[in-house]
Amino acid sequence: MSARFQAALHGARDTIPMLVGALPFGIIFGTLAVASGLSLGATLAMSLLVFAGSAQFIAVSLVASGAGLAVILLTTFIVNLRHMLYSASLLPFVRHLPQRWRVPLAFWLTDESYAVVQHHYHDAQTPMTHKHWYFLGSCLAMYSNWFACTLTGALLGHALPGMAGWGLDFAMVATFIGIVVPMLRTRPMLVAALVAAVVALVAHPLPYKLGLMLAALLGVAAGVVAERLNARERLEVADEQL
């Protein structure tokens, strides 16, 4: 077995806990999509071409509520802005790769793969060689899992129309908690998470998922402010020591 293929397999293997959490989430999406009026082809095309679970759920709910195309595009765009932060943090590790690698890896990057891959890249004991193959393995595992779950949910949606009310989406909530909590290592990270959580709860009644967007924006802003205050405190301490 080549080192590249082995690295890709390791990436897929390390992503298995995330696959388990995403499995019911993908099935529910397929069920909701066909229940909202999307055809089987359109549902599968969304998972193939969009591949963004939260954005897909929001888009489907907006379609079902009769929202206009501009609202759907703007809402999903803002929800996916977090991927810019993911990409920025991984850029130092993939900057050397040719475009034929960076483009598909950027498309396939998800919350789950980011959690797995960034930990692998920051592991100083692991050599950089073939780490992009590890990245690829994680992404392909999530991509194929999401498509298979969407297909399963879309097919089951006609036979089990009440499936969305079974509470299976809790698995994805637990998965996101597992992703976020280990990454809250600094005070700015904690501040950002707490502000976003509070705003999301308070602004939940807002239409078109505006509460989610507001929570994301204010969480990022709070994190930036906390980081600047931290930097100022470090400078003051350094000046006092001098």
Give the residue ranges of the chain where pLDDT is below 50.
Answer: none
**Residue numbers of the domain that contains 141:** 3-168
Q: Rounded to the nearest 5°, which phi and psi values hold at 236?
A: -65, -40
Residue 224: the pLDDT is 83
Residue 160: the pLDDT is 61
Residues 149 and 47 in one domain: yes
Residue 173: the pLDDT is 65
Residues 142 and 199 in one domain: no
Instruction: Give a yes or no: residue 174 inside a domain.
Output: no
Residues 108 and 191 in one domain: no
Residue 98: the pLDDT is 92
Residue 136: the pLDDT is 95
Instruction: Give a yes or no: residue 179 inside a domain.
Output: no
pTM, two decimals, is 0.75
Residue 84: the pLDDT is 81
Contact (CB, 8 A) for 47 and 150: yes
Residue closest to 47 by CA, chosen among 148, 133, 123, 128? 148
pLDDT digits (tens, 9 = 90+) for 101-111: 999 999 999 88
- Tokens read off for 37: 């009026």
DSSP-derived secondary structure letter, 182: G
**Which residue bears the tokens 């679970």?**
53
Residues 46 and 125 in one domain: yes
Residue 162: the pLDDT is 61
Characterize 135-156 residue by residue with b for buried, 16 or more Cβ atoms within 10 angstroms of its Cβ, and e for exposed.
Answer: bbbbbbbbbebbbbbbbebbeb
Cα–Cα distance for residue pair 92/210, rounded to 1 Å: 33
Rounded to 10 deg, the angle between the 16-35 and 40-49 helix axes is 140
Residue 56 has a CB neighbour count (10 Å cut-off) of 24
Q: What is the Cα Rg of the chain in Å? A: 20
Rounded to 10 deg, the angle between the 40-49 and 131-159 helix axes is 160
Residues 36 and 100 in one domain: yes
Residues 83 and 191 in one domain: no
Residues 40 and 159 in one domain: yes
- Tokens read off for 179: 């992703």
Instruction: Give a yes or no: residue 177 inside a domain.
Output: no
* Number of separate domains in the chain: 2
Characterize 102-124 residue by residue with b for buried, 16 or more Cβ atoms within 10 angstroms of its Cβ, and e for exposed.
Answer: beebeebbbbbbbbbbbebbeee
HSE-CB of 130 using CA atoms within 13 angstroms: 13
